[in-house]
Structure formats: structure tokens, C-alpha cells
Amino acid sequence: MLLSSKKRVELIKFKKKLKKPFKTSFDELKFREIFLIRIIEGSFEGWGEIVAEKDPLYSYENNKTAETIIKDYLIPVLKKTLIPEEFKKKASKIKGHMMAKAGVELALWDLKAKKMDKPLYKIYGGVRKKIPSGISIGIKESIDELLETIDNSIKKGYLRIKLKISPGKDLTVLKEVREAFPDITLSVDANSSYSPHKHFKLLKRFDEFSLLMIEQPFYEDDLFYHSKLKNEIKTKICLDESLTFLRKVIEGYEMSSYDIINVKTGRVGGPIEVIKINNFAKTKRIPLWMGGMLESGVGRLHNIHLATLSEFTLPSDISESSRYWDKDIIKEPVKMFEPGYLKPSNQPGIGEEVILPDKINIQKFNL
Ligand code: OSB
Ligand code: MG
């Protein structure tokens, strides 16, 4: 029962130091600018995370564009409805800005689940009881540091190691890693740093390293050149950046641009789109896995619930809270319950209490 008719949105931002800098082909992050949304209805509250970063380097969105879109376009939609499906429909008029939309939709699902007194995964129709957990390892200064990081990750139980690569930081690294760890499940993520005109031959040599997949070698919106590469390489192609919503997933499938999809809740615009992609993947037998955007506990818990969907068979990029944070912002941090596996909470909604740091920037809007 709603004890009062109070309805409010809060946008919450704070900086959080990463345990170690995270280096990719496009950036070196020392801090994460966390952007949360809380939607309050009576005595219930729903939490979402907007996974855009400070700078628009992974995609065109950043936290400032997301904030503008939420304030100018999505809060007006929230004034009309707090029902996730209706929100999604009305918000779809706004072009793009998937991470902004996803953050809001996540908060609405958490709110809805709490009102229904059910854990999110049950509302989504999740079936998986154990989420296989992998780890994404940034580009390291030295090979020794990389080998040590891999060794520690394997010892912690992670079931798949993903290495960030970029042109020139690839074949020699892979050779060393494979020599040291001949049997681990290994994949690579290029974050669109290779050129289809310059690097085709180089990429074909990746076949020597029996990788589980190569993720997004080419441009962040490309389907065409990935299709050409898939035709000529044995290693499976996984797309991340290019697949921004279901229609792109279908187009990429029709064009044979990929074998595997890294699904990110933020990138594709929220849980409803994730469910649609899961349903499509089921009819076409496309393996899925849940990606990550260095989320705080809020986004991490949401991702775990969604990774219970039927087609999320491959190890995810959802790692333990301790992968990035000394102290996460949820009461019980995300942790493997047995080596290699995470599981969703059975408490209502995301299933954990959020504990904000002292220093935050908060903006409140009545609905
Ligand atoms: O491409 O998957 C990616 C982090 C930020 C932006 C893009 C990516 C990543 C990761 C890290 O690979 C995944 C995680 O551990 O959250
Ligand atoms: Mg990626």
C-alpha cells in the first residue's frame, strides 16, 4: 500500500575512485563518475544507474547529455506514468540516448518489483540460478603485471578472462598470455580500435590463439566490415558498441556480422529491450552474455537479475564489487557464492539496500 502520494525523482552524482586505473584503447580511467537515479513513490523507492561516463569515448553519450535528456524529456514522461512499459513506449519518441533511457527504466522496474514484493529476476522471467562470472582486464604497462592480474583472477574463480587490446598491443601480448596460460578461456575486446582497411590480415592471425571471441574490432556503429571479417576468420566475432537496440541486432544477424552478442542494459536502452533481444536470440540460437560499464553496486545488481534470462549462457563481465571498489554502495557487496558464479538476490527489487557516500551531488524533482 502507498502510505503517501509523494512522487519524486532524484538525480545523484558522485565520483568514485577505482582501485586501479582501467585502461582501454580509448581511455584511462582513474575515477568513475557514478550517476544514479532514485524514483520515489509513497514509501517505495526504485534505483537505476546511468552508465554513461564522464566523457563520450565509448559512445556518444556522456553523463551530461544523459542528465539533459532526463531533465528535459524523460522526467516529463515520468509525470505521465511510472509504469515501465508505458514509459518505454512514450520515451521511444526521443531518438537515441539509450543509456539515459535505460537508467530511468531500471529505476521503474526496481520500483515496480518492490511494490509487487518480488525480486526483479522473477518479474523478468529469468531462469538461470547461477550467473557465470568473467573479468575484463585493462591494458597493462608490463606483461608481468598482466600475467599476475590474470593469475589472481583465475585464483578468484573467474571463468573467462577478457583482455583489452589495441593495434600494436595485441599479438605479442596474446603470445605471452597463451604461453603462460595455455588452457584458460580467453577473449579480447578491441573497443573499435582496428581499421578494416589496415588491420584485416593482422586480425586473422588472432586465430592462432584459440580465443573464445574477439569483441568489436571495428567502428562503433559498423555492421558491414564486421561481416566481411566474420567471413574470413575462424575466431567468433562478438559485437558490443554496434548493437544499440533490437533492430540493429536483427540487421547484424541478417548481414552475418556477428556470432555472439555482448548485451549491455545501458547500451540497448533498458530491460525491455534486453528481454526482446533475449527472445530474438532464442529463436536464432545466438549466445548472449551480459557486459559491464564499471557499474556501482546498483547497476551490478540490475545486471545480475537480467543475466538470468535464458540465452545468457556465456560468462558475463559482471565481476565482484571488489573488482573495482574498496567499498561498494550497497549493503552486501556483489560476491561469488561459489567459485565462478554470482546469483540474484531473492529480496524485492534489486535486493539490496543502497548506502550513498557522504559527498554527493543531488537534484530533486517532484512529479
Ligand atoms: O567494452 O566492454 C566494454 C568498460 C567500460 C566501457 C566499455 C567496456 C568496459 C569493460 C569493463 O570491458 C566491463 C566491466 O568490468 O564492467
Ligand atoms: Mg566491449
Q: Is the pLDDT of residue 286 over 80?
A: yes
- Average pLDDT, integer, range 99-110: 98
The pLDDT score that the predictor gives to residue 293 is 98
3-state secondary structure 245-271: CHHHHHHHHHCCCCCEEEECHHHHCCH
- Residue 285's φ and ψ, nearest 5 degrees, are 55, 45
User: Residue for cell digits 541486432?
Assistant: 249
The pLDDT score that the predictor gives to residue 4 is 65
Mean pLDDT of the chain: 97
Q: Is the pLDDT of residue 310 over 80?
A: yes
Q: Is the pLDDT of residue 223 over 90?
A: yes
Spacing, Cα 191 to ligand 1 middle (Å): 9
| Cβ < 5 A residues, ion ligand 2 | 189, 215, 240
| Residue 135, H or E segment | strand 135-137
What is the rounded CA–CA span in Å between residue 104 and residue 264? Answer: 15
Q: How far is CA 341 from the centre of its chain?
A: 17
Whose CA is closest to atom 1 on ligand 1? 191
User: Residue for cell digits 571498489?
Assistant: 325
User: Hey, what amino acid is at 353?
Assistant: E
What is the rounded CA–CA span in Å between residue 302 and residue 207? Answer: 35
Q: Is the CB of 191 under 6 A from ligand 1?
A: yes
164 alpha carbon, closest ligand = 1
- Average pLDDT, integer, range 251-276: 98
Q: What percent of the chain has pLDDT over 70?
A: 99
- Average pLDDT, integer, range 312-331: 97
Q: Is the pLDDT of residue 71 over 60?
A: yes
Q: Is the pLDDT of residue 5 over 80?
A: no
The pLDDT score that the predictor gives to residue 98 is 98
Q: Is 164 a catalytic residue?
A: yes
Q: What is the pLDDT of residues 137-179, one digit of tens each?
A: 999 999 999 999 999 999 999 999 999 999 999 999 999 999 9
User: Hey, what amino acid is at 253?
Assistant: Y
Q: Is 230 a catalytic residue?
A: no
Q: Are strands 214-215 and 237-239 parallel, antiparallel or unpaired?
A: parallel
What is the rounded CA–CA span in Å between residue 127 and residue 331? Answer: 25
Q: Is the pLDDT of residue 2 over 70?
A: no
The pLDDT score that the predictor gives to residue 87 is 98
User: Residue for cell digits 557487496?
Assistant: 333
For a substitution probing ligand 1, which of 63, 294, 306 has the most ligand atoms within 8 Å of its CB?
A: 294
The pLDDT score that the predictor gives to residue 125 is 98
> With b meaning 16 or more CB within 10 Å and e meaning fewer, what string describes 209-235?
bebbbbbbbbbbebbebbbbbbeebeb
Q: Is the pLDDT of residue 206 over 80?
A: yes
| Residue 289, H or E segment | strand 288-290
Q: What is the pLDDT of residues 341-361, one digit of tens each?
A: 999 999 999 999 999 999 999
Q: Is 28 exposed, middle or buried (0-12, 13-18, 19+ CB in 10 A)?
A: exposed
Q: Which of 242, 264, 265, 263 is nearest to 84 (CA)?
A: 265
| Residue 283, H or E segment | helix 271-284
The pLDDT score that the predictor gives to residue 3 is 55
Active-site residue (options: 264, 276, 335, 343)? 264
